[in-house]
Amino acid sequence: MVTFESQHLNLNQIASSGQCFTWRRLGEGRYLIPAQGRTVEAVQAGDRISLLCAPKEFESVWRDYFDLDTDYGAFLSAIPASDPCLTAAARLGQGIRILRQDFWEVMVSFLISQNNNIARITRSVAELCRICGAPLENGLFSFPTPDALAARSAEDFRAIGLGYRAEYLANLSATLSGGGEAELRAALEQTSDEEARCALMSLRGIGRKVADCILLFGLHRLDAFPTDTHIKRVLCTYYPDGFPFARYRGFAGVIQQYLFYFDL
DNA sequence: AGCCAGGAAGTCC
DNA sequence: GGACTTCATGGC
């Protein structure tokens, strides 16, 4: 077991922040968290977080996954007291971080997320893992690979309730199976945010908002600022004269998460 | 019954 | 370039 303290890591906040759909809640402040073909049980009481794994695994997997080497306190301190909306949002969501999730898992999850709600996205992702993933410990299933998804048809995806997104998923999986996903990821890592966004938007079913989610959550491009219905509402309500993006250059996506969580 | 949900694509003009 | 419509589905 590994125990540490952090003022800026709150499991409950992250679990309900809409960036990840595969955590399983075990109880208050307790989650079973899958990543990289493993799972870890995480327990939080106040600022103390315990991960039930060996120190070696913590260093090789979970330190990176939880983005523990990024200083979120510095992001929070950029918020001026003169901004009542973000001040409230930051107080509410000060334990949110941008997880370093798997690129493909993020692509698929947010492809499904369009015109959808978080509860149903979570169920759909669980169903996908169940019918196409590999069984892990504790009854969870790994997130299916591009090849595993490409072996299924759009009808299979419709059968688990993906609706019109089933065609998008079948097409995306066919396009990126056979090594295409790794190629795309490697290529995107060499490009600017704008070029990467443009490349992602060339894929059927991925528009501006989903592309920005993939940039932020799947490639850790912290400048990406996905604008969905919640963010539009917040910006329209609290920032009718424009949002001060320049102030948050380099981490606007983190700020976006505070606003999103605030609106939920 | 109608509206909303972490939207995108097609079709108008 | 915008405005409008359609696309499944479930919850309220």
Integer Cα distance of A164 and A187 in angstroms:
29
The pLDDT of residue A152 is: 97
The predicted-structure confidence for A238-259, as pLDDT tens digits, reads as follows 999 999 999 999 999 999 999 9
In degrees, rounded to 5, the angle at the alpha carbon of residue A75 between the alpha carbons of residues A48 and A64 is: 55
Mean pLDDT, range A110-127, rounded to an integer: 97
Residue A138 clears pLDDT 90, i.e. is over it: no
Band (A136; pLDDT cuts 50, 70, 90): confident
pLDDT, tens digit, 9 for 90 and up, residues A145-163: 999 999 999 999 999 999 9
Average pLDDT over all residues of chain A: 97
The nucleotide minimizing the C1' distance to residue A163's CA is C8
pLDDT tens per residue across span A65-93? 999 999 999 999 999 999 999 999 999 99
Distance of CA A37 to the CA centre of its chain: 17
The model's confidence at residue A96, banded by pLDDT at 50, 70 and 90, is: very high
CA Rg, chain A, in Å?
Answer: 18
Over residues A10-21, mean pLDDT? 97
State the catalytic residue, choosing from A43, A209, A231, A255: A209
Q: The tokens of A159 are what?
A: 């059968």
What is the model's pLDDT at position A137? 78
Answer yes or no: is A246 CB < 7 A from strand C.
no
**Distance C10 C1' – A244 CA (angstroms):** 37
**Residue A116 beta carbon within 7 A of nucleic strand C:** yes
Smallest Cα–Cα separation from A4: which of A71, A58, A73?
Answer: A58
For the residues A106-135, what does the mean pLDDT come to?
Answer: 97
Does the active-site annotation cover A209? yes
The residue-averaged pLDDT of A104-115 equals 98
Measure A205 CA to C8 C1' (Å): 14
Task: Indicate if CB(A82) is under 7 A from strand C.
Answer: no
Amino acid (1-letter code) at residue A28: E
- Give the whole-number percent of chain A exceeding pLDDT 90: 98
Q: Which nucleotide is nearest to A161 (CA to C1')?
A: C9
In the 3-class helix/strand/coil scheme, how is chain A assigned residue by residue? CEEEECCCCCHHHHHCCCCCCCCEEEECCEEEEEECCEEEEEEEECCEEEECCCHHHHHHHHHHHCCCCCCHHHHHCCCCCCCHHHHHHHHHCCCCCCCCCCHHHHHHHHHHCCCCCHHHHHHHHHHHHHHHCCECHHHCECCCCHHHHHCCCHHHHHHCCCCCHHHHHHHHHHHHCCCHHHHHHHHHCCCCHHHHHHHHHCCCCCCHHHHHHHHHHHCCCCCCCCCCHHHHHHHHHHCCCCCCHHHHCCCHHHHHHHHHHHHC
Q: Which residue is nearest to nucleotide B7 (CA to C1')?
A: A114
